[in-house]
Amino acid sequence: MHPQVIGLVWIAALGPAALAFVAAVPGRGGASFRRFTLAAWIALLSALGWALAVALGGSMTSGTLGIHGVGVSIYLDPLSVTMNALVAFIGLIVVTYSITYLEGDPRRLRFLRLLAATLASVLTIAIAGNVLLLCVAWLATSLALDGLLRFYAERPFAVLAARKRFVIARIGEIFLIAAALLIYAQVRSLDYVHVFAAARAGLPIALQAASLCIVIAALLKSAQFPLHGWLTEVMEAPTPVSALLHAGIVNAGGFLVLRFSSLAVHAFASLEVLAIVGAFTALFGSVVMLAQTSIKVALAYSTIAQMGFMMLECGLGAFPAALLHIVAHSFYKAHAFLSSGSVIDIARSAWTPGPSGAAHRARRLVVASGVGAVLASLAFIFHVSPVAQPGLFALGIVASLGIIHLIASGLDEKPSARVVGATLGWSALVAAAYVLLQFGAQRIFANTLPNESALHGIITAWIAVLVVAAFAGVTYVQSLLPGNGGALQWRRAYMWIANGLYVNTFANRLLLRAWPGAGRTAAEER
């Protein structure tokens, strides 16, 4: 830990302060819109500068402005500066996109102010060094996002999604505040430095309970099953809101777990809860996504699945992999939503009729054997075992299943040398990128995130085995669909899957019983 540099580290708050300033100060005309872009640039340059400073000089803290360890402070380490830079970069893109996207809308300035307030709050979550500041920024993020979700208040689905998320967010905040109270009762400070030091010294019952509360708050923030439905309904809000959700809002749950991972690895049931809920959510979202006809809804279910994967990674102790997942998924999904309007045209122009008939199952077996041999070789070379690194090993197998499906799709009954060569080449590139990025993340964050990823119980072992078996089964069933999709049992299953097992419909009805009013029409249509 770098010695405290109080006067210097506080400058890291320049980015959130600039965005909060433009969100609070009224204005009109083109100059008002340009100031939002300027504030976003200030946030990005500040984030990149502090990322470089931490890379060169190590972690830093400002110390706490407050009394008895309760107040505000800045904490900069590889985890916080990575998240800070990620949010600032995507935030700049979303702000720039929004100015053009909402051109002509009389409420554009209000939208940009809400957008800036949300980004300022998320950036504060990333660099907060005190649990009190984290809780305040967490609440501010939820309130600002509620305004964005209700931007089109005349749309029933928009109101329904905002109300559902409002209830879930308040419950999550109660658990986060409870965690803060438990931490203070035990440590007598909410400063990260003291909390992490207490975790290293041992984890009493109070801190174990605080860890479980943090886990629950994180799961509620990240749209985990069965409280995932609001994320599929935010499509009624402007498209930039969907992209913004991936600039650290939905991902904030994963960041919260990573931030307090030193507690979670020693707490009873914390990792197990993350692994179980995350695994089921990942499987559920992956399957439902395949049956969607709306691009944005499919992307939303994809996000639900990815958040499940991220929680599963944390539950299996693969914390660097989870952080890498946050970064990669944020960039990919923000781009996917912002370019969703042109996806249909691209797909139509690129579509060509495929060969008729069913694929040869023998080829799939050969492909699976080849990919399995490569995976075993890589595991041997890099000393990855299911006991020492269960999370990385299980996720490597799941990634291999995707590569198997990719190669098998290219090796249909009329393969050409060009298609086979391109498929094998891209598959090799994907596999190499996966391995290099995973081990790069482990090295970069070795001193920031716990490396205690070995199996810590029989429950964890069974979770890893069941995850691999479940996704292997889904991959196999997916390979059968092209030739059997017209069968009655498949069509019945498709109806249930396309509607997300009707879990969201049930949630809508419960909400409208407790909170009737706007949104009833939307729920009835759903």
The single-letter code of the amino acid at 461 is: A
Per-residue pLDDT of the chain (526 residues; tens, 9 = 90+): 454 556 678 888 899 999 999 988 876 655 678 899 999 999 999 999 999 999 988 889 888 888 888 999 999 999 999 999 999 999 999 999 888 888 877 888 889 999 999 999 999 999 999 999 999 999 999 999 888 888 887 778 778 888 888 899 999 999 999 999 999 999 999 999 999 999 888 788 999 999 999 999 999 999 898 888 888 877 777 878 888 886 668 889 999 999 999 898 888 888 889 988 998 999 899 889 888 877 778 888 888 988 998 998 898 888 998 999 899 888 888 877 777 666 555 555 444 444 444 555 666 676 777 777 777 776 677 666 666 677 777 777 887 777 777 777 666 656 667 767 777 777 777 777 877 888 888 888 888 888 655 556 677 777 778 888 888 887 777 766 665 656 777 778 878 888 888 888 888 888 888 777 655 544 444 4
pLDDT of residue 66: 87
DSSP 8-state class, residue 389:
-
Task: Write down the pLDDT at residue 136.
Answer: 96
Buried b or exposed e, range 45-63, using 16+ CB within 10 angstroms = ebbebbbebbeeeebbbbb
Q: Round to whole Å and give the CA distance between 356 and 15.
A: 56
**CA neighbor of 229 nearest in space, from 322, 137, 167, 152:** 167
d(CA 451, CA 436): 18
Predicted model pTM: 0.88
**Structural contact between residues 62 and 133, judged by C-beta atoms closer than 8 angstroms:** no
Question: Which two structure tokens, joined as six digits, stand for 359?
Answer: 């694929």
Residues 406 and 426 sit within 8 Å (Cβ to Cβ): yes
Separation CA 339–CA 183 (nearest Å): 43
Strand partners, 76: 60
Q: What is the DSSP letter of 513?
A: H
CA 418/CA 420 separation, integer angstroms: 6
